[in-house]
Amino acid sequence: MSKSYLGYGYDLPHLWCTFLDTPSSFKLDDANVVLVPVPYDSTTSYKSGSRHGPRAILEASRQLENYDLELDRDVSKVGIYTAPSVEPVFSGPKAMVKRVQEAVSSVAVPGRIVGLIGGEHSISVGSVRIMRELYPDLSVLYLDAHADLRDKYLGTRWGHASVARRLFDICPIVQIGVRSLSNLEHNFVSRQSLPVIYWPPDSIDLAKICSDVEGSLSKNVYISIDLDVFDPSVIAAVGNPEPGGMTWADVTGLLRQIAFNHEIVGFDITELSPQEGPEASAYTASKLVYKLIGYATENKS
């Protein structure tokens, strides 16, 4: 930490508002993982406020223990850099997709994991575009309570209700946790033979679910998570809650298995709306970010 505080020439502890409150002296070049906060929610159709999600996750992360009991290691030692927040652009969601794309392009290099902290789910598209350029065999594992397969919704093809459809235009996707979709979306799934695991399945056999999911994924995988994939009893502070969702053990068990057999090259965690639920939701979201980093870097620390 700098030996001065606001130019007064002496050491005074202060907060950085970065993930794990990592000091600003930590450099991008030393990072195996880069987190990019994207405080954007302009296409929200129910409860707004996910633009406040990134700050809430960063602030909650200060309370995390660096040591992870499950993995038996200090995950932070892989080097986690928090980039400046991406300023929203309000000329339209397509322009915001391009801005996210530019932000990810500026920090993404082969072998470095880039994770977006949202913000609404539409931020995924720009990130996946860049990851597909770096990893031509890319596939996306998409965890969401909603199918998000509308070609257009409320006058735009680039909003939160069309994310999975736009990702499908870029690379193969596998969906899990879906429990709400329109008839048109259901028909699209059938017509395209999309691999979708609706929730809850007939039997929550995690080993079988992992096996089914993995069969449709490539070596290099991008993980896209809308926090409403969880049951509201786990995370309530989301803009579009749906009952009957996945548990903490369901999600983390799946992610660890995917990371064991595939390379997680990027991810996003989206749709935390802090004002819609208890503080525990922000903490749980920050814990999920850390868990996912831990799983993705198990062989890199």
Each residue's pLDDT tens digit, 16-53: 789 998 887 788 999 999 999 999 998 887 778 899 99
Mean pLDDT of the chain: 92
Assess if residue 186 is contained within a domain: yes
The verdict on residue 217 lying in a domain is yes
7 belongs to a structural domain: no
Q: What is the pLDDT of residue 296?
A: 97
Let me know if residue 110 belongs to a domain: yes
pLDDT tens track for 167-225: 999 999 999 999 999 999 999 999 999 999 999 988 888 888 988 898 899 999 999 99
Strand order in the sheet with 80-82: 80-82, 33-38, 113-118, 263-270, 220-226, 139-143, 173-178, 196-198
Residues 6 or more apart whose Cβ sits within 8 Å of residue 150: 161, 162, 165, 182, 184, 185
Residue 35's domain comprises 19-296
Residue 37 lies in a domain: yes
Confidence band (pLDDT; 50, 70, 90) for 11? Answer: low
Q: In whole angstroms, give the CA distance from residue 203 to residue 187.
A: 24
Q: Render pLDDT for 250-295 as a digit per residue (tens, 0 to 9).
A: 999 999 999 999 999 999 999 999 999 999 999 999 999 999 999 9
Res 154: pLDDT: 87
Residues β-bridged to residue 173:
140
Look at residue 12 and tell me if it is in a domain.
Answer: no
Higher pLDDT pick, 209 / 4: 209
Task: Give the closest residue to 290 by CA, choosing from 170, 115, 156.
Answer: 115
Say how many domains are in the chain: 1
Q: What is the pLDDT of residue 13?
A: 62
| Whether pLDDT at 233 is above 90 | yes
Domain CATH number, residue 277: 3.40.800.10
Q: How many helices (H) does the chain have, and how many strands (E)?
A: 8, 10
Does residue 9 form part of some domain? Answer: no
For residues 57-72, give the mean pLDDT. Answer: 96
